[in-house]
Structure 1
Amino acid sequence: MSLFNKKINIFWVILINATIFFTLCCLRYIDLKKILSISPHAPHKIQTPQSEKDEFDFKIVQQDNVHLINTIRTLIDPPSKLAYNLSEPNRQDFSLGQSFLVDRIFKQKKNGFFIECGAMDGEGRSNTLFLERDRGWNGLLVEANILNYHQLKARNRKSHAIHACASIRPYPERVKFNLDTNMGRVFKSKKDFDWAKENHRKVHLAWTQCFPLYSMLLAMNRTTVDYFSLDVEGNELDVLKTIPFDKVDIKVMSVEILHGPGKKALKKFLASKGYKEIVYLPGEKVVAWDIMVQKIDMK
């Protein structure tokens, strides 16, 4: 074989090996993209073949979109059938006073319905555990911090639960959420980092799915809520503004005021939606960092 032919053969061997190597790299890259797309810390979209861009993280999706509602239903965990697993099983009120106030407003009503946004671990400072365990209420527990959510599930609550956050916009979206035990919140801008620094909070962000409150209610086949507890560390007013109050009947709400625009702004907005503030009940005072309101024409 001539020297020229040997060089040609070597060239083809190198070319074939390079092609194989390049193909393997491409396949590895595709697999890596798939892995990243399902990572809890990587932004990804909830898919539906019926939406315009095959995604729900897009503001044209209406809150009552049937495919959105069905998707949320697949993410909601059912109530536990196991016995409660509480760290303080003999404690009666786990809240900071809100549970007993609600109980008095509803005159010890049995089998009511609640939704708690910012449910934490399902026990500590829970505004709904007393109502669920002692009054037979049920509802939806919404918790965005995945670490808290695992603890919540371990409590064996008798209500539905979902690992998600209440959207601050009237459509679903993926957001950066700070995994801070009892002060987790959506991070939207530099102001949130400044807030964390001022309050000496550590920052550990994770991509988290948010859904509008109304969409989650529709997924539960509910438009009437006896009690709504909202504690999302400063984004309360934004969440409230997404709610179509003409389509839902929320009778009583407790809303945290500590980190948001303040009591005055919240009270003004809620008054415009037909709610009055409850300041005192006989012998009790509403917790200082919550505003509790009742629908004026509550039946």
Structure 2
Amino acid sequence: MHSGNVGPSPLRQLLPLLSCLMSFASVLAVLVIYMDTTEIRHQQFRLNMSRDYELYGVPQDDPTLLKFVREIHMKKYPMAFLKNMAPGIINLTDRHELASEIADLIGKYLNKRKNGFFVQSLPWTSRNMMTAPWLSDTLKWGGLIVEPDPQQYFELRKENARRNDVQVVHACLSSTGYPKEITIHHEGETHDVKINSLIDEDSGFRTRVKCFPLYTLMLAVNHTKIDVLSLGCQGQELQILETVPFDRVTITVITIHLEDYFRYESSADLYVQNVTTYLKTKSYKLVKQLHQNYIFQLNGCDKNKCP
């Protein structure tokens, strides 16, 4: 008989290796599950950030909605750093060459009316066309400026901080008769904002913004009679106007600013024709066109007999 140590069986020798493989497989499985879960959450987040939430069934004049707009979106938070700043001086020469002409025309169509009220919602690219500063400083008007882009909202807050009768609200105008929350895309160097546009994941900064019907905002500022409504909303002007109950409000002058939204002039002409046709049913007429800026006036107001 031979004596000697008997080594471990081949199966026992493989046990450490099998244990290592099982541990590795377990870790890998957990990692895969974690990555899948993370991806699902990421996809859900992207879906939530791109989905428009529309509050169907909420009336434009709902008291709770009006309270929310007034107390949350229209609250004037103090801007202490402006205390020692010199008052701004309006300078139309720094603006678009048509800005002064449009401002002068609005004054003419409204017979240089003092203490009027305006509502303006224009893209950043049309900011130099805004007549709000001239109307406020020259004719002592009050008004509401609707700005969806957060950066430009704060710029407008700063610019109008000393104009006590001018309210700037961080929102957009709803193209439906209901409030909603949507995603906007900041275009970077152009400072423009694209609403409801199809965008790639890494194509730029996106943020969420609440949109309210124009009539809701008019009620929130206690002005159902306004002198000038200026819209430049990326081809949604007609849809916005269609939400307005014109039998409950009075708007003397409506200006539409298309800038370069329409690539082809024929498309812009057709769109303006549709806007003109609709406003004609509401007793408005097109009184002036300056490039892609269109001025509509309520019938009878040219004779200073506005309601």
Q: TM-score when scaled to structure 2?
A: 0.67
1:48 is matched with none
What secondary structure does 2:131 align onto?
Answer: coil
Give 1:297 shift.
3.1
2:57 is matched with 60
CA contact (8 A) 1:140 1:161 kept: yes
- The verdict on how the C-alpha distance between 1:129 and 1:148 changes in structure 2, with shifts beyond 3 A counting, is same
- The verdict on how the C-alpha distance between 1:44 and 1:85 changes in structure 2, with shifts beyond 3 A counting, is farther
CA contact (8 A) 2:148 2:171 kept: yes
- More helix per residue: 1 or 2? 2
Give 1:43 shift.
7.9
| Structure 2: gaps (5+ residues) | 1-40, 263-269
- The verdict on how the C-alpha distance between 1:251 and 1:183 changes in structure 2, with shifts beyond 3 A counting, is same
Give 1:121 shift.
9.6
CA contact (8 A) 2:123 2:233 kept: no
What secondary structure does 1:124 align onto?
Answer: helix
Give 1:176 shift.
1.5
Match of 2:105 among 101, 108, 129: 101
Give 1:59 shift.
1.0
Match of 1:179 among 186, 189, 199: 186
2-structure distance, mates of 1:264, 1:156? 35
2-structure distance, mates of 1:156, 1:230? 19
What secondary structure does 2:227 align onto?
Answer: strand
- The verdict on how the C-alpha distance between 1:77 and 1:116 changes in structure 2, with shifts beyond 3 A counting, is farther
1:245 is matched with 246
Match of 1:165 among 162, 172, 178: 172
Match of 1:276 among 279, 285, 288: 285
1-structure distance, mates of 2:257, 2:128? 16
2:229 is matched with 228
1-structure distance, mates of 2:180, 2:133? 29
2:117 is matched with 113
What secondary structure does 1:222 align onto?
Answer: coil
2-structure distance, mates of 1:109, 1:94? 23
Match of 1:263 among 272, 278, 301: 272
Aligned length: 235
Instruction: Answer yes or no: is 1:135 the counterpart of 2:142.
Output: no
2:207 is matched with 206
Question: What code does the residue aligned with 1:64 have?
Answer: D
Give 1:290 shift.
1.6
1-structure distance, mates of 2:191, 2:295? 20
2-structure distance, mates of 1:141, 1:124? 14
CA contact (8 A) 1:93 1:130 kept: no
Aligned-pair identity (%): 25
What secondary structure does 2:115 align onto?
Answer: coil
Match of 2:291 among 279, 288, 297: 288
Give 1:91 shift.
3.5
CA contact (8 A) 2:125 2:192 kept: no
2-structure distance, mates of 1:60, 1:77? 26
How well do the aligned residues superpose, as a CA RMSD in angstroms? Answer: 3.3
What secondary structure does 2:119 align onto?
Answer: strand
Question: What code does the residue aligned with 1:149 have?
Answer: Y
- The verdict on how the C-alpha distance between 1:294 and 1:69 changes in structure 2, with shifts beyond 3 A counting, is same
2-structure distance, mates of 1:77, 1:118? 21
Question: What code does the residue aligned with 1:264 have?
Answer: Q
Give 1:179 shift.
2.2
What secondary structure does 2:107 align onto?
Answer: helix
1:9 is matched with none
CA contact (8 A) 1:172 1:211 kept: yes
2-structure distance, mates of 1:240, 1:84? 38
Give 1:105 shift.
1.1
| Structure 1: gaps (5+ residues) | 1-32, 46-55, 195-201, 280-285
